[in-house]
């Protein structure tokens, strides 16, 4: 299934998990199953791997192995599902927060700037909110905030205004229509980067990715055993900041809380600075360019 999605920093992720053959591990972003396959190679007959993915396409890649359990849910429901299967605590959790290249390559999913298609962008096809709805119904101020914060777009205010003005004439329903509407705002020579930022902002909103990531990180503390590993790979600064802060402080902003005696209260010990892909890997897999891997051990 290599054409589905080439796993980024595969070896670094496996090393970070420090897999014990009889351990229980969770891959919360199963996708094409690349990381999961590798984890299973390191597990003995008594080991177990639980994989989460809400994408129906990912279910087609489910592995036929008695040590493997697939849960078709978003990782924000990590704790409840593990509890239901009586699998708490676990020894390690892996999260690869990137959208799989497979999703980008299927035009009708509406993730890619390369194709025309409906403005969809739902990871979970049964969810109700689509990019089309965001673009056509959100107030100008909401769009401004969304493009500024999630897309880190310089001219977010003008972008929001342009979209709101254009949709008065007719709804913006496809990728092609959206690109045509915002064409004049795109900086010359930076077309791909700008459109990628616009799409990133819409995708994060449609899938409530920041809320899901926060919920997942908070639950990871509750489901990991002492000494268990949390290995998270992110692809843009917003996600990476949340992961970095949470691993370092046990919270998403502010300073570390202290107990009565002045000792830091934080659930994790950070293993190292963020790890980035090698030049060679970036040459072979462009998606690795922006990846940052962070590893922490539960105290």
pLDDT per position as a tens digit, 207-240: 999 999 999 999 999 999 999 999 999 998 999 9
Which stretches of the chain drop beneath a pLDDT of 50? Answer: 1-3, 102
| Torsions phi, psi for 43 (to 5 deg) | -95, 145
| CB atoms near residue 153 (< 10 Å) | 21
For residues 188 and 251, give the distance between their C-alpha atoms in angstroms, rounded to a whole number. Answer: 40
Q: What are the structural domains, with CATH classification, of the chain?
A: 10-101+209-298 (3.40.50.150), 128-206 (1.10.150.170)
Pair 67, 49: CB distance under 8 Å: yes
Question: What token pair was written down for 204?
Answer: 């994060």
Please report the pLDDT score of residue 2 as a whole number: 39
pTM, rounded to two decimals: 0.89
């Amino acid at each position: 299934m290599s054409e589905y999605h080439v796993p980024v920093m595969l070896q670094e992720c496996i090393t970070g998990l420090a897999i014990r053959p009889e351990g229980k591990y969770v891959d919360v972003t199963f996708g094409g199953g690349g990381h999961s396959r590798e984890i299973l190679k390191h597990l003995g007959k008594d080991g177990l791997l639980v994989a989460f993915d809400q994408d129906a396409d990912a279910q087609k890649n489910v592995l036929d192995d008695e040590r493997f359990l697939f849960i078709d849910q978003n990782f924000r429901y990590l704790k409840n599902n593990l509890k239901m299967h009586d699998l708490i605590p676990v020894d390690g959790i892996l999260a690869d927060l990137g959208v799989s290249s497979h999703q980008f390559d299927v035009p009708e999913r509406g993730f890619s700037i390369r194709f025309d298609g409906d403005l969809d962008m739902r990871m979970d096809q049964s969810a109700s909110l689509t990019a089309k709805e965001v673009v056509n119904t959100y107030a100008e101020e909401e769009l401004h905030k969304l493009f500024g914060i999630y897309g880190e777009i310089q001219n977010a205010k003008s972008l929001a205004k342009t979209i709101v003005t254009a949709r008065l004439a007719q709804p913006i329903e496809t990728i092609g229509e959206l690109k045509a509407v915002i064409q004049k705002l795109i900086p010359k020579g930076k077309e791909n980067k700008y459109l990628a930022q616009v799409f990133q902002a819409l995708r994060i909103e449609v899938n409530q990715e920041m809320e899901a990531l926060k919920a997942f990180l908070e639950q990871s503390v509750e489901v990991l055993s002492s000494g268990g590993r949390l290995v998270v790979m992110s692809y843009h600064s917003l996600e990476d900041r949340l992961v970095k802060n949470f691993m370092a402080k046990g919270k998403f902003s502010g300073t570390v809380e202290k107990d009565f005696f002045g000792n830091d209260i934080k659930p994790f010990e950070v293993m190292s600075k963020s790890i980035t892909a090698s030049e060679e890997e970036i040459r072979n897999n462009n998606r690795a360019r922006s990846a940052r891997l962070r590893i922490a051990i539960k105290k």
